[in-house]
Structure 1
Amino acid sequence: MTDPKKLAIKDFVYELPEERIAKFPLPERDQSKLLLYRQGQMADHTFTDLPQLLPPRSLLVFNDTKVVQARLLFQKETGGTVEIFCLEPVAPYQEVQLAMQQTGNCVWKCLVGNNKRWKSGSVKLRFDGGMLTAERKAQQEGHFLIRFTWEPAELTFAEVLERCGKLPLPPYLNRDLTPDDHTRYQTIYANQQGAVAAPTAGLHFTERVMEKLREQQIATAYLTLHVGAGTFKPVKAEVMEEHEMHAEQLYITKPLLQRLLLQEEKPIIPVGTTSMRSLESLYWLGAKVLEQPELPLKDLSVSQWQAYETVAPPTATDALSALLAYMERQHANYLHASTQIIIAPGYTFRICKGLVTNFHQPESTLLLLVSALIGEDWRKVYQHALENDYRFLSYGDSSLLLP
């Protein structure tokens, strides 16, 4: 078995010409290409074909996170601009859902552009009917803690971002925001505010495709994983053991666990790598509470290497049932957990039987995940996509991978 800690990221490289990166979305979401990989064979389709290509009686699982306007451009008194990019909440809540509803003031972990020009004091950003003020509280490794205060104080932080923030496009698009991006860089089912990057595999879905899924009796379910900026974090370490995987916030509801348990032997297919990471994390959370039934809620997390260090993993049914029973004991309607799971060659999938996903950057943890699912065939898939005019990355084309 492959030891994922010893994997060298240089083995997951391919040549991606700049012109193959999709800088803008297609006029119609569902007219993107779809590369079907099924048991080693490949075929070209259009995304509207997806419902007929899925295995019968599949359950398709979507990530319903919504991208927030996390880029804030503040003016200094001297007229210069300071850009603040909100990463994750720190106080009074670390939980994104609660932090978005906070009124008056809050503290977030942020990236700061032009920080050297921000000598001291606070910076201000006027918006329609109000004012947002930012002050640096502390500098930590690679980021700052920023205290935000705003008027009118009764506005929630979500409303403040909606009024004065900008949508954070992926850095590799290397272009300014257009009015189109406000709708096209969100999935049509985006619902829970808190991501700073879109779960892009879902961008191809339209009402027309959803209707076809119903006609084909393909069931659907939703979870929430708030995609962090770490999704774009390049792997700089030579071997994966030295790469620290980013943590992301995951929300689990009872109906989702009940629906997954009903699926038993039938295929569960995640839409996107974030949905896949979430589903596999549910399994490992279940394994954890099986071992520690009284685990405090605050310790509900999946560490980077947990999946590779567990000696006797339970069945998927036992793990998910344990998580459901844990929720009952905690009298919780939903659970909030964090996951650092790294899915790389050597990983054994516990829940997922396939994947709908876009084409990812060379030397990325997302490419490791694809390789974990379909093995060395990832090279054939990417070569086929490059030779057949597929568009790559966030606004690019799609694939359905069925190992």
Structure 2
Amino acid sequence: MDNNSRMKNSHLDDYNFELPKKLIAQNPTKKRTESRLLITKQLRGPNNESSFQTSEDMFKNISDYVEPNDLLVFNNSKVIQARLNCMKETGGKVEVFVTKSNHTSSKDSSGQRYYFLAMVKPKKKIRQGMRLFLNQGKTSITVEDLYTDDSKICLFSANLPTFKLLETFGVTPLPPYINRLPTKKDSERYQTVYANEPGSLAAPTAGLHFDEKLISTLQEKGIDMAFLTLHVGLGTFDPIKTTEISQHQMHTEDFFISKKTLDKIRAAKKNKKRIIAVGTTSLRVLESIDDILLDMTEKVFRDHPDVLHSQTNIYIQPGYKFRVIDGLITNFHLPKSTLFILLCALIGREKSLDIYRKAINNNFRFFSYGDSMLVLKDR
């Protein structure tokens, strides 16, 4: 497809912007709610023309911009300590990043063995049957299968269940753009205060700005809240490699949503109350369940009467018609990423680029530990 025949703004370069490295937040703010907040509100003129009003504040004041009976939908997935810092018998360091527990086990002469998949760095000199050591050599994991040479994934086994292994020896899996080792503080701050469903390999970062006091303030104002679970995988860091954004294949992620949460969402839609997604993960789930909201019959919950388990690979790009959400709380995202493209679908590419340029000029902090943005659609 040549440039003349492709759709307007379908080229990946149309979603690029210059981001100074100094604005990539390497540490969280002293307090969760001390991050800055950029508010973007859609307005309608007398001839139904759309415009956006933008202002700045602190996140601790977000209750001033939401209304009683608004429904905030949070992702309560909990980040697991997925990174294991191992050593070979020779003393060489090896990083093992657990991506999936196989939920299988077997017995050998040493007892019960539990299996998991993990990325290995560096993999070049890793051999099948090799033991990698933790805890000053007192604990080890074994390489069971190397798979293919061009894959960083290996199959491992250990004598501890995977979640127990990670709970005991794992460290916080900070994203690749944070150029430092994790600290004890990260185990608290790279986690939302309401996280209670272990499974994510990266934090749903929009929720990092909330603390218990702010949540109480919102509840006292009459803001309703609901929770769902989407476990964030490493696919969230996958770059778009295609020239045309429409050709990108989105990764698939599991999500869980209770009947109670679905009932709240249905009631909010019926009563024309705003539904505000806290984070792009919550938004992607909400926009994936439109058909389920229309069909709340028993068959939806046939296997799990209280919780629906499904998957989504929804890819939201300009031209998408939002069916469920009326607003979004989100951080500032990478150029040419699916998350920035999602924002462009919500408020338009030119407006998104304009807002990001202003944010950069005003030294807003970007990515996981960065500042926040509240987008409110016109209803």
Asked if structure 1 preserves the Cα contact closer than 8 Å seen for 2:115 and 2:156, the reply is yes
Deviations 1:79-107 (CA, angstroms, capped at 9, x unpaired): 212211112334439xxxxxxxxx95443
| Match of residue 171 from structure 1 | 176
Partner residue, 2:243: 238
Q: Which runs of 5+ in 2 are unaligned?
A: 1-5, 43-51, 106-110
- CA deviation digits over 1:363-391, x for unaligned, max 9? 10000111111112111211221122211
Superposed CA offset, 1:102-143 (max 9, x none): x95443332110111213422233349963413142425634
* Distance in 2, Cα, partners of 1:334 & 1:225: 13
- Structure 1 unaligned segments of length 5 or more: list them: 94-102, 288-318
Any idea what SS the aligned residue of 1:115 has?
A: coil
CA contact (8 A) 1:89 1:108 kept: yes
Is 2:120–2:154's contact at 8 Å kept on the other side of the alignment? no
Equivalent in 143, 158, 166 of residue 161 of structure 1: 166
Q: 1:149 pairs with 135, 158, 166, which one? A: 158
Of 140-149 and 375-384, more deviation after overlay is shown by 140-149
Identity %: 40
One of 351, 354, 357 as aligned partner of 2:330: 357
Residue aligning to 1:325:
298
Cα gap change, 1:82/1:324 in structure 2, threshold over 3 Å: closer, same or farther? farther
Equivalent of 2:266, from 261, 264, 271?
261
User: What is the alpha-carbon distance in structure 1 between the residues aligned to residue 195 and residue 112 of structure 2?
Assistant: 26
Q: Could you tell me which residue of structure 2 aligns to residue 42 of structure 1?
A: 54
Between the two proteins, the alignment pairs up a number of residues equal to: 354
Output the TM-score relative to the length of structure 1: 0.82
Match of 1:387 in 2: 361
Counterparts of 1:116-131 in structure 2, within 5 Å, are 116-127=124-135, 131=139
Residue number in structure 2 paired with 1:115: 123
Alpha-carbon contact 2:11-2:244 (below 8 Å) kept: yes
* Greater gyration radius: 2
After superposition, the Cα gap between the structure-2 partners of 1:75 and 1:63, relative to the gap in structure 1 and judged at 3 Å, is same
| Residues 13-22 or 320-329, more deviating | 320-329
Answer whether contact 1:70 1:167 (CA < 8 A) is retained: yes
AA aligned to 1:171 is P
SS in structure 1 of the partner of residue 289 of structure 2: helix
Relative to structure 2, which stretch is displaced further, 112-121 or 369-378?
A: 112-121
Q: Does 1:135 align with 2:109?
A: no
Alignment root-mean-square deviation, CA: 2.3
Task: Indicate whether 1:71 and 2:83 are aligned.
Answer: yes
Q: Answer yes or no: is 1:26 the counterpart of 2:37.
A: no
Report the structure, 1 or 2, having the larger helix content: 1
Q: Give the equivalent residue in structure 2 for 1:81.
A: 93
Matched, 1:275 2:278: no
What is the deviation of 1:260? 1.1
Q: Which residue in the other structure is 1:214 paired with? A: 219
Indicate which of 188, 205, 210 corresponds to 2:210.
205
Distance 1:114 1:44 in 2: 44
Q: How far does residue 263 in structure 1 lie from its aligned partner after superposition?
A: 1.0
CA deviation profile, 1:147-193 (whole Å, cap 9, x unmatched): 3221xx5xx42221011111110101111112211111001111111
